[in-house]
Amino acid sequence: MEVRETSIEDLLVIEPDVFGDARGCFLETYNRKRYEEAGLAFDFVQDNCSFSHYGTVRGLHYQVGQYAQGKLVTVLQGRVLDVAVDVRFGSPTFGRHVAVELTDENRFQFWLPPGFAHGFAVLSETATFAYKCTAYYHKESERSIRFDDPDLNITWNITNPIVSAKDLEAPAFKSIEKDFIFTSR
């Protein structure tokens, strides 16, 4: 397993070891001991899976308070552009984002700790997206940011996005509350 840093501290791309032969392939999508040995000690409490069609954009979502979630995300089938936005006030990368292409071919995983808004765009005909969370879903703690906010300048690589009514009503980035305050290590 290889763990790569991104341009924003704490956002990580994980490349699991994939063992292939004429039958197909095998990989561990999570092994607590191996991840801890790599310095990635997470306590996951909930697994989620979504299926979406081409052009779907989901996000940008995050939770706050005791329900703030870290997420380990991957694509089981298809191809997505996965995006994390730093919402930690005082962070040197506040408002910046990292976009990673996750596919069923590269099998990459993307780690987003609490303090990042998350979203993805489906670039293939369909995609099955899976994520492990460090906190339970809690509707009252959920927050969102408008996916096409011009202050974020995210290129989703989709011409006519399919977006839920809820996500279309999400507030602008400049109006988010100070739910996360950055503290340097």
61 is catalytic: yes
37, containing H or E segment: helix 32-37
Q: Are strands 24-27 and 46-53 parallel, antiparallel or unpaired?
A: unpaired
Q: Please name the residues in contact with 97: beta carbons below 8 A apart, sequence gap of 6 or more.
A: 8, 83, 84, 85, 86, 152, 154
Q: Which of 61, 67, 97, 118 is catalytic?
A: 61
DSSP character at residue 167: H
Using alpha carbons only, give the angle 19, 20, 25 rounded to the nearest 5 degrees: 90
pLDDT tens for the chain, 185 residues long, are 999 999 999 999 999 888 888 888 888 888 899 889 888 899 999 999 999 999 999 999 999 999 999 999 999 999 999 999 999 999 999 999 999 999 999 999 999 999 999 999 999 999 999 999 999 999 999 999 999 999 999 999 999 999 999 999 999 999 999 999 998 76
Domains and CATH numbers, the chain: 2-21+29-179 (2.60.120.10)
What's the token pair of residue 126?
Answer: 């369909």
131 is catalytic: yes
Q: Which of 35, 62, 67, 131 is catalytic?
A: 131
